[in-house]
Structure 1
Amino acid sequence: MLIVGELINTSRKPIKQAVENKDAEYIKEIARKQAEAGAHYIDVNCGTLVRNEPEIMAWLVNLVKEAVDLPLCIDSPNPKALEVGLELAAERAQPMVNSISAEAERYNSVLPLVLKYKAKVVALLMDDSGMPDTAEQRIAIVRKLVAGLVQAGVPEDDIYIDPLVKPVSTGDSAGVEVLETLQFIRREYPAVHTICGLSNISYGLPNRPVLNQVFLIQTMTAGMDAYILDPLDRTLMGFYYASQALLGKDPYCSEYLKAHRSGLYQKD
């Protein structure tokens, strides 16, 4: 199971302000807190700052590298910013690219970077026809993306399929379609990983943490094995460690017990 800490993202007001103020210590503190809370990768995203995104990406990546020893997930819609981040991140460990899709322009611009830096890659289930609505549409894109990436030389173990979580507020079947897609991937592509931005499911609804927590459990049961989330949410992390143990993915409950002793999840 892999957790990508999502907090260094300029779509979040505190991070945007820290970037604008060149508050390096705040950025490094957020990186350290996520690492201490159990993140395995740190996501770096400054995609809202389009005017000088490559320069900001370099600044952020260097700060995170100073703060923590973890590998980085470089997150951008801009191939130039992706390459800047990947070049710096790859100096330490295998980076992750967030993301490639089956959209022709995106696929053709990102795939060379994945291969050049031997990166793990988040493969988002979108193509040139737009965002899929049904599990069947998602499955067709899964087949296309996995076949193309593997043929290009990307190991299946480095592919992380993002089934495109939509807010359940926009359609009653939004969660079910994701679960059906996950079950297909686990059955047909057991060596391929799955990942998602968990909080998308609750957008637009009240008491979002409850929805996020339940969807975490549902998706883990269906086979999800990586998440982009806030590792500082101790209640959510409690559900994560408990689900791992109850699904038989935590031998002797060792990670659950370690997290308990370290206070990494809410105990009351």
Structure 2
Amino acid sequence: MGALETIKFRDCKSTFKVDRVAVDGARVDSKDGKQILIFKADSNPKMQITFTPNADVSSEMGTAVNAKMDTGLFKWSLPDANACSFMTCPLKNGVSTTYEQSFHLKAEYPKDQTIQVNWVIQKAGGDTKENCKSNFKVISLEIAGAEMIEENGHHITLLKKGTHPKIRIRFEPDVNLSNLKTEVNAKMDGALLRWNMPETNACKFMDCPLVEGEETVYEQSIQIKSEYPTGKTIQVNWVIDGDRQDIHHDICIIFLARIQH
């Protein structure tokens, strides 16, 4: 391993102030005016992030890394997702902190593709229901046909097999858009699983085209199949995106759920 090299990065609305991102074990290249990191298969590059917290954080911090490519969102497996193993915790408001973690690039990972890497550090467990940096103003989320419970300070939606609960999202778009698609992922035991939706055209479930500033309601049912795993708490990521290119989703909702018989 050589010296850490500072790289360009896009800050996707971090709560903390990100001061520097550096990498060791990668060659820095440039293509079409963009900086690209060239990684070798079966290597162990190191990521270093220097940041300044805007509040004291006494709870554990978790790390999640995703790679976005043409075939979809790929979950990058980390042997240790506890971010506090790689920086000094608890975090102190205004005190510069350095996070430094190596990650293994397995030989079977897809090669010769340009991917967008999203590196996230957050409170372990995260929020149970939140607006995950939506471009649109999300007003409310309702889930009909499901029971809501509170467990250890978290709200969990109970979904019964064989039912068709309905998701209702009320929002205000920030632009006019005609074409939008829905994507739903479920995070369970560290793995990100794609929820198979029979219809991904979001405009089938709301009035399109969207008009900037006009309150709109999206309403879609989902099938809870008998083969889905039961008893485990999963994090559901419900995303609706238009055809504009942006680092943030137009609508992004996260909530916790558990499937029951």
TM-score (norm 1): 0.23
Q: Which has the higher strand share?
A: 2
Name whichever structure is richer in helix by fraction. 1
TM-score (norm 2): 0.23
